[in-house]
Structures are given as structure tokens and as C-alpha cells.
Structure 1
């Protein structure tokens, strides 16, 4: 049985450690985010709709249909041309109860180009995993007139704003850091816990010292700990409570065990 780390309370300020670094946290948030809007650097007043996902390497993949204003510009650009500067708005969502809540807004500024034909299949799978779209079935090979294409944005700078912090990250620094290795299974576990075990999560707060009482949901889950969103009984303003693991989790089953220990009031640990 592991020992539960001391919970850290955030009241709208920067979340305190232990937890992932800021860049790792934003990389993980970006991995769950989807594009909503794009603008060209030389036409900032013109906005285009955007859809796609963020690939594992940290670049934004955009699905551009044949009628999109950017389609012809990208299709006719020389192969490998990255002279087109673009900004893409990304949004990561979380449902708190039945209410959709924005976890993070990220503005990615960088250079956009068509995904090379030999990499288009993998890029299409990345988008499909995030947002299944039958348009992806028509993507492949060299860009064709009347057919959708995939483009990717090499980040030069990212501006982020979460519920509890904001800042700017250099694109190279962003791509140099890996997202949390358990981000995929963590999101699935998190959704299950929020759907089925909210009462147990709320009850577990009674056993955490100096933590406000209220209705709790999992806000973030990673290999270093869990962050709970608490709708406080004594305030109209929610709080984020960070509960660290006693050691880094390296497998999904360890995350499940740690959460079970937390709700069973036995002390949370990713160890078996």
C-alpha cells in the first residue's frame, strides 16, 4: 500500500507541484485539443473554420476540404513549401457534471504546409482518433483538385490559457517535450470515473487534510497524480485540488489502482 502525497489546493493561482512541468502539461492538454479556427498571418482579420488534431510530435494536423478557402493556396504551393504563416486556435474540453467546460485554449502560430503523401495515412489516423470524419477516406496521395487534403502546422510559438494559468511557449521547446505517456488511457479512465464514481470521489475529500468539501470530478489525470475539480460547499468559486502519487505511474492499471486507493481512503499510489 502506498502513501498518499499531501494534496495541493489551487484557488485560481498557478497549480503547485508535484505535477508535470508546465510545458509537459500543455503538451498533454494539446494532445486532447481540437482546432476550431485558423487565420493567415498576413490577413489576421479573416478567420476560417478549422478541424483536425494534434499529432504525437506536437504539430497541428488540419483537415482541409475541397471548398475550404485554404485548399487552393495549399494545393498549388510547391512541395515542401513552408512560407505560409498561420495561426490556429485549439480548445481542450472537459465535462464537469453535465456542463461542458473549457480546460485550455491554445493559440498555435507557425508555418503550414501540405502533409507529404507518404505521411498522409498516419496523419489521417491521428485526426480520425480525435474526430472521425468520412472526409478522411478521400485523403491520400498528392493533393488533387476537388479532393480534401491534410496540412500540418509547425509551431513557432504557442500562447495558452487554462483555468489556473497562462503563458507563452516557444515552438521548439514545445516539440522537444513529450506529452504524458499515459494521456490516452488516462482520458478513458477519467471519463469512466466521472460518469460512474463522482459520489466516491466527493467522499474521498473528507480524508484529505485542509481540502474543501464539495462535489468533486477528475479534472486532470496523469502519471504523477490527479487533479480534482471541487464545487465547494462554502464558496461559489470552485477549487482545483492536486493529489500526487507516491511514485510515477507507468501503466494504466497503476492509475486505476491509485484512484481506487484514493476512493477507498487507503492512500493513493500507482504501485501494485
Structure 2
């Protein structure tokens, strides 16, 4: 008997997390300098884009140097951001080419908005630097490991990510009582702290406690946003 796939392949999962992850710190390989705070986002190819001001580390970079950028993906639970996963992207940093600055700024503005992005586009102080990925270390819930650049960059995020995020936020904000009841039925025990944590084409992940995530796979991977919505509705109706 063939068992259903219960979760996305690791490269796809990591790329999906990276889409909404924000850079938090950057460190320079071989340097005694401590890691410093940084802003920016991740472009459509999965490469970190750093937004650097004139008085910040790396502002004067002209040649490629090796750095490690920490990215953190979060989920708001009761108005508090909780970490879903952390990625450490190691690679060579370089200025974003002048003819690509606008596209780079637009690619990260929707998920990581920052007023200084406009200044960078207009060459009014801040600069955009891009990391040419060499490897990615990931820590996501109970999983950890390393992806090389080829596997990471060849993967694509979940195809229904945007729709899934909208559905997830809607359930957590408007239908949590229904979710709590449905999870309690599935577990055979009360689950008052259940929150929808992740949603993708292979299933849903529910957070019932800070250190407890429960994976609920679909009978088969869904193939459209409509099918994802129907699968989620079936989950919520289990009460």
C-alpha cells in the first residue's frame, strides 16, 4: 500500500519559509566583528537582499566577501510573533546591479516593507546588497540540516503559498473556536491552545503548545487553491 506524502520536500519547505523570512543579523566570515543587525528581505530566487545604511557594516562593499545572514520566519499567535524557523544563508555578498535595484526592492517590499527601500532605489543613501547563496542551514520545528546552493535554488516555494497564508490568517482570526473543537475531536482530548501554524498542498500543521506541532496530511496533495480551501473546510468540520 502506498502511503501519502505527509509534508513538502525539505528544499520546498525551506524555500517556502524563506519567502516570508526577514533578515535579522549578518556576520562576516573570518572577521572578529560580532554579528550585526540588518534589514531587508528575500528575492524571488531565494537570495537574501540586505538594506544597508551609510553608517552600517558592509555599506562600502565593492568586492565579494563571504557572509552568513540569519533569516527568521515568524507566525503571529495572540498578537505575538513566534519563530517558525530560522535559516542561516552563507554566501558571497555583492551590490545589487544598478539595473536590478528597482526589481529587487519591489520583490521584497510586499513582505518586508521599509521606507528606506525607496531611498535605495533613488540612490539617496541606503544600498541594496545581495547574497550569492553557497549553502543554507535550516532549523524548522523538529527538523534541521543543510542544503547546498543547487538544491536550495532549484526548489520552488509552495505553489499556493499566498492563498494558504490568507486562509490560515482567516481561520486563526475568525474560526479559531471551530479549529479548537475539530482538533480536540481528532486528538481525543481538549486542545484549547490550538492554532493553525502552517498550511500547504500536502497538509496542515497545528500548534497546540509552544513545543508541540501536529501534522495533519491531506489524503492526497491538493492541486489548486480551491482544493486547498476544501481540504481545510473538511478539517474544520470534524466536530
| TM norm structure 1 | 0.79
Q: Secondary structure at the match of 1:161?
A: strand
Q: Distance in 1 between matches of 2:136 and 2:169?
A: 27
d(CA) in 1 for partners of 2:144 and 2:161?
Answer: 21
Report the counterpart of residue 38 of structure 1 in structure 2: 26
Shift of 1:128: 0.9
Q: Paired residue for 2:180?
A: 202
Residue equivalent to 1:14: none
Give the CA deviation at 1:228: 0.9
Q: Which has the larger radius of gyration?
A: 1
In 2, the alpha carbon distance for the partners of 1:147 and 1:153 equals 20
State the Cα distance separating 1:211 from its structure 2 match: 6.0
Provide the C-alpha distance between the structure 2 equivalents of 1:253 and 1:211, rounded to a whole number of angstroms. Answer: 29
List structure 1 segments (4+ residues) > 6 angstroms apart after TM superposition.
none
- Aligned counterpart, 2:69: 88
Q: Larger deviation: 181-190 or 110-119? A: 181-190
Matched with 2:191 is 214
State the shift of 1:212 in Å.
5.0
1:189 matched to 2:167? The reply is yes
Measured in 2, the distance between the counterparts of 1:162 and 1:44 equals: 28
Structure 2's unaligned 5+ residue stretches are none
Q: Secondary structure at the match of 2:146?
A: strand
Partner of 1:244: 217
Equivalent in the alignment of 1:270: none
Task: Tell me, yes or no, if the aligned pair for 1:52 and 1:130 is still in contact at 8 Å.
Answer: no
TM-superposition CA deviations, 1:29-61 (whole Å, max 9, x none): 111110001011121542222111111211111
Q: Is the 8 A contact 1:107 1:159 kept in 2?
A: yes
Please list every run of 5 or more consecutive structure 1 residues that lacks an aligned counterpart in the other structure: 7-16, 232-236, 267-272
Following superposition of structure 1 onto structure 2, how do residues 20-169 of structure 1 map, counting pairs within 5 Å?
Answer: 20-72=8-60, 74=61, 77=62, 81=63, 83-140=64-121, 147-169=125-147
Is it true that 1:253 corresponds to 2:223 in the alignment?
no
Determine which structure has greater relative contact order: mean sequence separation of CA pairs < 8 Å that are 6+ residues apart, divided by chain length.
1
1:234 aligns with none
* Cα deviation 1:98-141 (Å, max 9, x = unaligned): 44311111111100111111211111012211222111112237
Number of residues paired by the alignment?
A: 236
User: Does the C-alpha gap of structure 1 residues 27 and 44 become closer, same or farther in structure 2, counting only changes over 3 Å?
Assistant: farther
Q: Is the 8 A contact 1:227 1:243 kept in 2?
A: yes
Partners of 2:157 and 2:24 in 1: how far apart?
A: 21
Q: Cα offset for 1:186?
A: 1.4
Aligned residues of 2:184 and 2:191 also touching (Cα < 8 A): no
Question: Given the alignment, which residue of 170, 179, 186 partners 2:157?
Answer: 179
The SS at the match of 2:121 is coil
> TM-score, length-normalised on structure 2?
0.89
CA RMSD of aligned residues (A): 2.2
> Offset at 1:71?
0.9
Which one is further off, 212-221 or 115-124?
A: 212-221
User: 1:67: Cα distance to partner?
Assistant: 2.3
